[in-house]
Amino acid sequence: MAKIETTAFDSADYLNTAEAIAAYLDAYLEDSTPQELRSALSTVARSHGVSDLAHRSGVTRAGIYKALGEDGNPSFETIRSILAAMGLRLAVEPAERVLEAA
């Protein structure tokens, strides 16, 4: 039987534009647990480089790792600061159209 060669895959390696990052996070926001969303934010942080992100966001490097780590519980302000440092923002939109009663 022939050996199968595999290579490591890291989503962070492919998140190199604001559009790609927004689509990636939007998919997680659509249907995921808070833990899965935190993991996705961690992946995005790694794609930007945590040290650089810490400098631009005003959140310490250790603070980013703690907030987005397995046991993290990031505040809204921490998430907002991290997203802003990546050139992103949160937006609210209707989940579905609601027809007005006639």
50-102 pLDDT, tens digit per residue, is: 999 999 999 999 999 999 999 999 999 999 999 999 999 988 888 776 665 55
Overall domain count for the chain: 1
Question: Which of 91, 7, 81, 75 shows the shortest CA–CA distance to 38?
Answer: 75
3-state secondary structure 32-67: CCHHHHHHHHHHHHHHHCHHHHHHHHCCCHHHHHHH
Instruction: State how far the Cα of 57 lies from the Cα of 61, in Å rounded to an integer.
Output: 10
Domain, as residue range, for 34: 18-85
Residue 99 belongs to some domain of the structure: no
Residue 10 belongs to some domain of the structure: no
Please tell me the predicted confidence (pLDDT) of residue 83: 93
9-64 pLDDT, tens digit per residue, is: 999 999 999 899 999 999 999 889 999 999 999 999 999 899 999 999 999 999 99
Please tell me the predicted confidence (pLDDT) of residue 101: 54
DSSP annotation of 69 reads S
How many residues are given for the chain? 102
Residue 31 belongs to some domain of the structure: yes
Residue 95 belongs to some domain of the structure: no
